Structure 1
């Protein structure tokens, strides 16, 4: 029996779970209040608090890190890696996410907390299925601005798990199928999984609006918004990718609240929520063409996939492309544990992490000349 501990840091909570092989033994979401977050606006300022919360969970549940066979952390905002799967949490990764992260995001703290738990212990720590796997078709990364290359970013962890789950349900291998998989959450991302490889994608800032994201905005409007606003660059980024979408329209990111408005006769609420589903359907149609319409299945997953209203709206528009399967919820902790178990069983190798942040060629350079602190 393998003892596996998983860590997944989100913006307002740290999810941790303990597994015996693939059996979930305990799981909890360690929340952080809005007042605490206001006092720690920079991501790294939260490390001590979050690590303390995790240690308290371990103590309360009589769990000792030295007895773990592996700790699997959600990947942070690291430079794009060449393939999916497991990567070692090493000195380069720790320095990169501490001193030169690609962006400020709480997920970055997952591997740092894991490293704190096993200092001086012979317990391996890995990340699994990071969001930034550079496996896309080269043509998908070309933009109309030569200085900008559109690098792949996607909710790989849960969508890949959904793809594997679907494939197993029809007694096939995930890597034998062409799948369009949609992550319906606070941000909405879509990916074309070509026999296990993300060939193309639509990230949450370039597709449909979502509960927290503005989604794709025509450049003529976006330029005006940015230049006419008094918001700083960071504030504008937070608005577009955290405070817009349903949150901007209704003051809530909970789809269930919007559906209650619809049920009370609010026509605007129905129009806006329908527009969200409409945008998802457009994104599915956009991705369907990259292999000439050869799509075996469309899969809708994530928390919003529990909404029968939204999945029905999407299905009505895209079922002509391929059949639609709904796998609601998020199984990120299970996906992390499953990846760790495959590593422990020798079914997968741990990839060495060797990707330096742009502009750096050594760990010393990263530590001594950080571009900015998170």
Structure 2
């Protein structure tokens, strides 16, 4: 029996759709939403609700596209969406239940376009009485207890990282090694506008650098900073909360140092003799390698492979610099870009085929 699965992956101004027949991607489309449409909806939405306010707009766009592409939703076996930042949960494929929808649309959590993935999947699936799922959302948290302690009782460490793509790429590398993901020990670095590095031990991400405040600086994010200097800046009277958060998570890192988050632009400057650009770029690779090395502690120093993925992994110059720092520790595997769409389809397929059970939100228990 062939399983037909629709995957929905919302971004800030786009919605990616993938139609699968079992593990074969037969239709891959990106619906680009006009920036002025998104801005208008966001401006009219209550604080903390700017993403979920786009539900009806994006749902219509999805249904219109399926009609134009002559895809019959009633012939689908499941719909799967990208999961948003909700409660900390173990990795896996979750059935979209009422509790999950309530949290995805709540203003108690981060207001992010990914919250729409599960909501849209549920809407489309309920129209045809088929299951809806999310897979490995950014809030996957499998930290060991020792990894949660930060040194400040009011500020425990949190897990917020690129779980969907990381686990998908790790599964691929394990298969190429002739092993199961659950048998391997990997360090995986997702290199995007934000960078997260995680330790994968026998199928679980047991420690990681957090996307919003830990680890190496990235094209748009500042990463770890001196706490005393950061605190003084916050209380200097020069910045308010919104400005400070933007400095850290949107205009930080390479963008703050060089005025651009585009690695191609930075490499062009380096080729033209810009020594400052060269230094900052090298520092970003150095910090990434340093974080990778630190996380080997979570694997007791036994690492089967170091995996570099994400958009910045398309830069051979950057991945080479990282490998030069860390290649002595374990083989370095480079898988540029993202496998999010494939990961969504594969996660749903494993449940439909009975290879694994769906989890229940928010407990993480298996059905």
Contact 1:17/1:26 (CA < 8 Å) preserved in 2? yes
Please, which of 174, 177, 189 is the counterpart of residue 182 of structure 1?
A: 189
Alignment of 1:142-221 (within 5 A): 142-204=149-211, 205-221=213-229
Residue in structure 2 matched with residue 326 of structure 1 by the alignment: 334
Structure 1 residues not aligned, in runs of 5+: 357-374
Matched, 1:138 2:145: yes
Name the stretch that deviates more: 144-153 or 70-79.
144-153
Name the stretch that deviates more: 212-221 or 251-260.
251-260
Residue in structure 1 matched with residue 80 of structure 2 by the alignment: 72
Q: 1:33 to 1:216 in 2, by over 3 A?
A: farther
Question: How far apart, in 1, do the equivalents of 2:259 and 2:28 lie?
Answer: 30
Secondary structure (helix, strand or coil) at the match of 2:30 reads strand
Matched, 1:124 2:125: no
Contact 2:233/2:239 (CA < 8 Å) preserved in 1? no
Contact 2:87/2:362 (CA < 8 Å) preserved in 1? no
Summarize deviations over 1:16-73 as a string: whole Å, max 9, x none: 1111111111112222344334321522222222222212221221112222111111
Residue in structure 1 matched with residue 349 of structure 2 by the alignment: 341
Question: How far apart, in 2, do the equivalents of 1:247 and 1:302 lie?
Answer: 18
TM-score by length of 2: 0.92
Contact 1:179/1:298 (CA < 8 Å) preserved in 2? yes
TM-score by length of 1: 0.90
Contact 1:79/1:355 (CA < 8 Å) preserved in 2? no
Residue in structure 2 matched with residue 23 of structure 1 by the alignment: 24
Aligned-pair CA distance for 1:236: 2.7
Question: How far apart, in 2, do the equivalents of 1:59 and 1:232 lie?
Answer: 47
Question: How far apart, in 1, do the equivalents of 2:169 and 2:209 lie?
Answer: 17
Question: How far apart, in 1, do the equivalents of 2:6 and 2:275 lie?
Answer: 46
Q: 1:110 to 1:147 in 2, by over 3 A?
A: same
Please, which of 247, 269, 272 is the counterpart of residue 264 of structure 1?
A: 272
Q: 1:125 to 1:235 in 2, by over 3 A?
A: farther
Aligned-pair CA distance for 1:92: 0.9
Question: How far apart, in 1, do the equivalents of 2:356 and 2:99 lie?
Answer: 22
Summarize deviations over 1:231-276 as a string: whole Å, max 9, x none: 4434432331122222333443221121111112111111111111
Structure 2 residues not aligned, in runs of 5+: 44-49
